[in-house]
Amino acid sequence: MRNIFPHNGRKRALGKGSSVKRGGQRRSIGLISGWLPVIVVLLILAASFAAFEYDAAERLGLADPEPDNPAEVAPPEGLELPELAAPRPVARALSTSSQVDPAKVEAALAPYLDGHGLGKHKVISVGSLDGNTWFDNLAGPVTPASTMKLLTGTAAIESLGAATTFDTRVVRTTGSNGSNEIVLVGAGDPYLTRKPDDDAYPQPADLQTLAAETAASLKREGVKKVRLGFDDSMFTGGTTEKTWPANYTSDAVVAPITALWVDQGATPDGWGYEQDPSLSAATMFAQELRSAGIKVQGQVRRTSAGGGAEVAKVESPPVEQIVDEVLAISDNEGAELLAHHIGIAEGFGGTFEGGVKGTRKVLRELGVPLANTVLHDGSGLSREDRLTGQSLLAMFRTDAAPTHAALRPVITGLPVAAFNGSLAGRLGSADKAGRGRVRAKTGTLTGVHGLAGVTTDLDGNVFAFVFIADKVKVPKTLEARATLDDLTAALASCHCSA
C-alpha cells in the first residue's frame, strides 16, 4: 500500500535551497505529520455527527421543513426565468370505448367470417372492457374447450384468495400395535414434484424436501423406523368426470384427478399417467424417507390421518401463480384441482360436481351472466360444456374492473401472441400488429378451435374478444387455426376509432 505520508518524520528535501533542520523544527514537523491522520478522522466524524443531528432534527420536526414540490422554491433574487411552452404529447392518448366505430370493427372482421375452415357454427364476439359490445354474431352457446379455464381461474382467485397455498403434510399417529406410524396427507397441490427444481416457475414443493424435514423431526425424537400410510381423502367422487371419453386417462389426455400426486400423476419415465397417482406418490415418499435415514416398515397403505400431530409440511405456490401457469400452458390437471378446491371452499365438496357448483356460485356473485351455459368440469375437456360469447366477454370485464383488482392476474396471465405459452407459435404468419399485442387463451378439442382474450387496435382502443368454432372438420383444422389468427390480428391492426 502506498504511504500517503512518505516522510514519516525522516529528513527529506523540500526543494531547491530548502532543508529540514534538526532539533525542535524537525520535531514539530514530525508531530504535525503524526497527528494529521487523527485530525482528518475527527473532522469526518464531526461532519457525520452533524449530518445525523440535522437528520434527527428534521425527523423530530425541529428543522425548517422543505417544500413538498421543488417547483415551489423561488429562484434566487435577480434571476429571471423564461416562460416554458406547454410540452407536446409524444404518444396518442388511449381511446375510450365511446370512440369505437362498430362498423369499422365489423369491416375488419368481415373477410374472415364466412368459410375459411371455421365450419357451420362459430361464436364471434367483440366488446370493450367497460360494457359495450361492438360485434356479436349471436350464435348461441358453443363448446368452449380450454377457454373454460378462464372461468375456473377467475373463480379460483375470487373464492380461494390469490395468496392461498396448499400444504402437503406428514402427521404422526400411533398404530394399532403401538408402532410409530406417519401419514402423508395430500392437499391437492397441482405442482408437487419428487425432487426440487430451482429453475421451475411456479416454484414447486417437493417430496425430497418433505422427507428430509420429516426425517430430521423423527430423529430428534429418537424415531428411526416407521410405518407409512397416505391420505388423499380431500377429493372424493371419482378421479374422472362422467362426461369425459373413457380413453382420456389411458390415452394420456389427462391424469386421474386426486388430492395427492407427484409430477401431476405422470409415470417416472414420462410416458402416460399412473393409474393410482396417490399410491405412486406415497411409494416415492417412502423411498425418499429411506434415503434420509428412516426405515419404512411394511407396505404403504391408504389410511386416514385423523387428528395426528404435524411432523413436517411443504407449501405449494400461491393460487395466483397456479392460475398463471394453468392459463399459460393450458394445464388440464391444474385446472381440475383448482375447481375441486373451489367446490370445497364454497361448501359443495371436493368433487367434479362440487367444483362446477362452486364455480357457478362464485361467478354469479361476481355478476357474470351464465344463462344458456353448461359446466361439467374446470378444464373444458368435456364436450358437453357450453359457454356463450356474452359470458366470456362479461368475465373479461369483471377481471379488468378496478373493483376486482385481485382478479387481474387472469388477464395478465394470458399467453402473449408469438411470445409465450400456448400462443408462442401463433399469429406468426398473420398481420404483424398482432404479435405482442394480443393476449389470449386457446381452446382446442377435435373439431373445436378457439381464441378468447384481449388486445388493443392501432388507435389504442382496448377490446375483449371471443372467437370459437366448434364444428370444424378435421381436414380443415390448420385452416381454421389460421383463420382465428387472422381474425385476431385484424382486430389488433384495425383503426377502429369513430
- Within 10 Å of residue 280's Cβ, how many Cβ atoms? 23
The model's confidence at residue 21, banded by pLDDT at 50, 70 and 90, is: very low
pLDDT tens digit sequence for 331-352: 999 999 999 999 999 999 999 9
Question: β-strands 448-456, 309-315: how paired?
Answer: unpaired
Structural fold of domain 97-161+321-492: Beta-lactamase (3.40.710)
Q: Which cell numbers hold the place of 303?
A: 389410511
Spatial contact of 461 and 424, defined as CB atoms under 8 Å apart: no
Distance CA 225, CA 215 (A): 10
Instruction: Tell me how many helices (H) and strands (E) the chain has.
Output: 11, 10
- Strands 439-445 and 448-456 turn out to be antiparallel
Q: Which of 201, 210, 203 is nearest to 167 (CA)?
A: 210
| Average pLDDT along the chain | 87
Reduced to 3 states (helix: H, G, I; strand: E, B; else coil), residue 311 is strand
Could you tell me the three cell numbers for 296?
A: 419404512
Which residues of 197-348 form beta strands (DSSP E)? 225-231, 295-302, 309-315
Look at residues 357, 358, 236, 214 and name the one whose alpha carbon lies nearest to residue 286. 214
- From 3-17, 151-165, 289-303, the region with the lowest mean pLDDT: 3-17
**What 8-state DSSP symbol labels residue 416?**
B
Query: In the prediction, which pLDDT does 67 show?
Result: 54
Q: Residues 404-456: pLDDT tens digits? A: 999 999 999 999 998 999 999 898 766 677 888 999 999 999 999 999 999 99
123 pLDDT exceeds 90? yes
Structure confidence at residue 307 (pLDDT):
84
Report the largest interatomic distance among the alpha carbons of the chain, rounded to a whole angstrom.
Answer: 113
Please report, as a single letter, which amino acid is at residue 308: G
Q: What is the predicted pLDDT for the residue at 81?
A: 73
Hey, what's the cell of 5? Answer: 505520508
Give the pLDDT score at 85. 83
CATH number of 167-317: 3.50.80.20
pLDDT of residue 36: 60
Residue 52 is predicted with a pLDDT of 43
The per-residue DSSP string of 69-123 comes to SGGGSPPPTT--PPPPPPPPPSSPPPPPGGGB-HHHHHHHHGGGTSSTT-BS-EE
178-200 pLDDT tens trace? 678 999 999 999 999 999 999 99
Distance of CA 469 to CAs 120, 128, 387, Å? Answer: 8, 21, 12
CA atoms of 466 and 132, how far apart (whole Å): 14
SS3 476: helix
CA–CA dist 7, 10 (Å, integer): 5
Report, as an integer, the average pLDDT of 287-308: 94
Pairing relationship of beta strands 180-185 and 225-231 according to DSSP bridges: parallel
Query: What does the chain come to in residues?
Result: 498
Provide the pLDDT for residue 306.
Answer: 86
Report, as an integer, the average pLDDT of 375-386.
98
Domain boundaries, the chain: 1-11+20-63, 97-161+321-492, 167-317
pLDDT tens sequence across 31-83: 445 556 655 555 555 554 444 444 444 444 444 555 567 667 777 888 877 78
Model confidence at 95: pLDDT above 70: no
Kindly list the distances between the CA atom of residue 355 and the CA atoms of 226, 343, 398, 488, in Å, as whole numbers in the listed order: 36, 4, 20, 32
- Domains 97-161+321-492 and 167-317 belong to one CATH topology: no
- pLDDT at residue 489, as a whole number: 94
What pLDDT score was predicted for residue 137?
95
- Of 401 and 308, the structure prediction assigns the larger pLDDT to 401
The 3-class secondary structure across 323-381, one letter per residue, is: HHHHHHHCCHHHHHHHHHHHHHHCCCCCCHHHHHHHHHHHHHHHCCCCCCCECCCCCCC
Looking at the predicted structure, is the pLDDT value of residue 13 above 50?
A: no
Report, in angstroms and rounded to the nearest whole number, the Rg of the chain calculated over CA atoms.
Answer: 34
Cα(496)–Cα(102) distance, rounded to whole angstroms?
Answer: 8
- Residue 23, pLDDT > 70, answer no
Is residue 24 over pLDDT 80? Answer: no
